Structure 1
Amino acid sequence: MNPVIVVHGGGAGSISKDRKERVRQGIIKAAEEGYRILRDGGSAVDAVEGAVTFLENHPEFNAGCGSVLNVNGDVEMDASIMNGKDLSAGAVSAVRCIANPIKLARLVMEKTTHCFLTDQGAAKFAAAMGVPTIPKEQLVTERNVKRLEKEKGAPKSDCQQDLGTVGAVALDCKGNVAYATSTGGVVNKMVGRVGDTPCIGSGGYADNDIGAISTTGHGESILKVNLARLTLFHVEQGRTLEEAADMALGYMKSKLKGLGGVILVSKAGDWAVKWTSTSMPWAAAKDGKLHSGIDLDETSVADLP
């Protein structure tokens, strides 16, 4: 199989011009990192973990060190990962003071008999696995402090403009697929709020017999429709990736007014990106070519380094 990776940097409202270029370069570099892992013989799981780790370490994205703040001004992060080869999966939620929740999610997948650990239990497991803790200040950016202040002063909304999540899907040379998704959640969320990102079937799904998907958008809406598994169900029914994504996103929007986006790769190596939010930074790498975009009807293609 020719390896493929697709990466997203979360849905969003309009992105300011100065941020747009930083976001574009970040998402492109994440895709390049994942593709390098695949080209060097790494697994799909390695590739999605590598791409998402890169984005968790990038302050422009709502994951890891760019995570938005909850009502108390703290960072609580969620992440999940899944291997389509055997449906093994790992997830964590309400994680604090670690740099890369996606790495902890993979440890849950590979080192425990469980799928999902949360809060204090996840913290104890991280310590047992030797995952270093970092001061919470390292995860708080000035931009997110200002965003929290602005949100606290604004009329109550349903967070439809806070659609930030990062994710990746990949197909490796052995025909295995995987997904990874990570987020800091929504600005001014209640302590302990968990969205779709760590929930298998909502924040993502991977099955070698179908493909892999990672989602982003209004978490409560995504949870209610099981967006990831719903989209792959339409693929199983013979729809193209684009048709399946349009049907699932359309259903969520019509039933709940929920906005979101998805990235997909099929077991045959086809890929697709679709969203109903204003924009969704994305990049895809396949056959030595890198495709990327942020806004609707905007796609650029370049040769991979």
Structure 2
Amino acid sequence: MKNPFVSIVLLMLLCISCETTTSEKTTDPETNNDTTFAIVIHGGAGTILKKNMSDSLEVAYKTKLEEAIRTGYHILENGGNSLDAVEATIHVMEESPLFNSAKGAVFTAEGKNELDASIMEGKTLNAGAVAGVTTVKSPISLARAVMEKSEHVMLSGAGAETFAKEQGLEIVDPSYFYTKKRMESLKRVQANEAGTTATYDPYIKDSKYGTVGCVALDKNGNIAAGTSTGGMTNKKWSRIGDSPIIGAGTYANNATCGISSTGWGEYFIRGVVAHDISAMMEYKGVSLQEAAKEVIQNKLTAMGGTGGIIGLDQQGNMVIEFNTAGMYRATMNAKGELKIGIYKQ
């Protein structure tokens, strides 16, 4: 006959083991000491082909992408929050004429630079966005100010610029955003529109594309996402694309993922692309990779839309999905592993 005392002891040990296991599985990500963190960025998608890229320009893009992502990475590595990482990373790209954002923004049909941006954090689902600003040096910082210093989500035009001044953000003369390359692109697009040029120009085909974005996960398990753009070359009537629209160009939710989009904005708005990826994860229980592939390669493509997204989830899983020939992009994980890409590989 079995010893009842031994049986009781074994039962007690089993219970303790079960309680320990359960406790480990239900640890709150807000209070644990997990060192998982990650960051992913993009600098626009489109017809980016090796044959159209000089060696020096390719090096310039890769160098700036690395500078940008390392800026945010160091913040995360030192225990900083994901919002700070996203804002600082996008600052680097906003101040580079290589990208269609702030300093490198494309021109409207009237020869102006009209800037859009948005930012969102996944813990509270708070968000801020701006559209059509022309004198604010950093649109992403203004979007964050809207999120944190106002009761609103989106401000536009002159009102957004007044708010920026009240918040002490840096205001610049519109000439700050001028670059010769973007003005030449505008002239080529307008000449093509008028039927006065027969020369193939990849910039004409990609007049709808550009944009920079960042998604970050910090050590506290919080996700943030941000997007900043100059919009579409030769845009008219104060056109606004997907970049400042929460759920289309930017979305973040700790329960699912963070997303930043780039591409033909009208389709991303109609498809509510950023939120659609999150919703598929929440309601269907699929992975970030599965959701992103379904939305970009199937749903967006079927609509006729082109572009891509970057994203990550709370486990640090990153995704880059696009249906164009290329996308400027980079990732870094908690191990410090850096990956940079431009072409479709």
User: Which category describes the TM-score, using the shorter chain as reference length?
Assistant: over 0.9
TM alignment of 1:1-305, pairs within 5 A = 1=34, 2-14=36-48, 16-17=53-54, 18-155=56-193, 161=206, 162-236=208-282, 237-249=284-296, 250-255=298-303, 257-286=304-333, 287-297=335-345
Secondary structure at the residue paired with 2:175?
Answer: helix
- The Cα offsets for residues 121-180 of structure 1, whole Å up to 9 and x where unpaired, read as 1011011111232111110100001000000001389x7623101000010000000000
Partner in structure 1 of residue 20 of structure 2: none
Deviation at 1:238, TM superposition (A): 2.2
State the 1:98 CA deviation. Answer: 1.6
Larger CA Rg, structure 1 vs 2: 2
Q: For 2:113, what is the secondary structure of its paired residue? A: coil
- SS of the equivalent of 1:60 reads coil
The residue that corresponds to 1:302 in the other structure is: none
SS of alignment partner, residue 81 of structure 1? strand
Do the aligned partners of 1:52 and 1:168 also contact (CA within 8 Å) in 2? yes
The runs of at least 4 consecutive aligned structure 1 residues that moved more than 3 Å come to none
> RMSD in angstroms over aligned alpha carbons?
1.4
Shift of 1:63: 0.3
The whole-number CA distance in structure 2 between the counterparts of 1:20 and 1:195 is 27
The one-letter code sitting in structure 1 at the alignment partner of 2:261 is: T
Question: 1:69-122: per-residue Cα shift (whole Å, max 9, x none)?
Answer: 000110000000001010110000001112110000000000001001000110
Residues 11-47 of structure 1: CA deviation (Å, up to 9, x unaligned): 0212522422211211121111110111121101010
Give the drift of 1:279.
0.5
Q: CA deviation at 1:243?
A: 1.7
Please tell me whether the aligned partners of residues 215 and 312 of structure 2 are also in contact (alpha carbons under 8 angstroms): yes
Amino acid at match of 1:182: S
Q: Deviations over 1:264-303 (max 9, x none)?
A: 1011111111101110011111111111111112xxxxxx
2:327 & 2:130 partners in 1: Cα distance? 24
On the 8 A contact 2:138/2:170 being kept in 1, the answer is no
| TM-score, with length taken from structure 2 | 0.83
**Secondary structure of 2:233's aligned partner:** coil
Native 8 Å contact 1:160 1:259 kept in 2: no
Question: Where in structure 1 are there 5+ consecutive unaligned residues?
Answer: 298-305
Would the alpha carbon gap of residues 268 and 182 (structure 1) be closer, same or farther in structure 2, given more than 3 Å must change? same
Q: Are 2:48 and 2:327, in contact at CA under 8 Å, matched by a contact in 1?
A: no
Identity %: 36
Using the alignment, how far apart are the partners of 2:220 and 2:289 within structure 1?
Answer: 24
Quick one: distance in 2 between partners of 1:233 and 1:77? 28
- Which amino acid is 1:273 matched to? I
Change (3 A) 1:187 1:101: same
Instruction: Check the 8 A contact 2:329/2:342 in 1, yes or no.
Output: yes
Rounded Cα–Cα distance in structure 2 between residues aligned with 1:268 and 1:228: 18
Letter in 2 for 1:106: R
| 1:172-223 residue CA offsets vs partner (Å, 9 max, x unmatched) | 0000000000000010001411000000000010011111010100000100
Residue type at the aligned position of 2:257: G
How far did residue 9 of structure 1 move?
0.4
- Is residue 160–residue 218 contact of structure 1 (8 Å, CA) maintained in 2? no
The letter of the residue matching 2:58 is: K
Cα distance in 1, alignment partners of residues 271 and 194 from structure 2: 24
Bigger shift: residues 164-173 or 285-294: 285-294
- Specify which structure has the higher proportion of helix: 2
CA distance in structure 2 between the partners assigned to 1:264 and 1:238 by the alignment:
16
1:185 alignment partner, SS class: coil
Structure 2 residue identity aligned to 1:221: Y
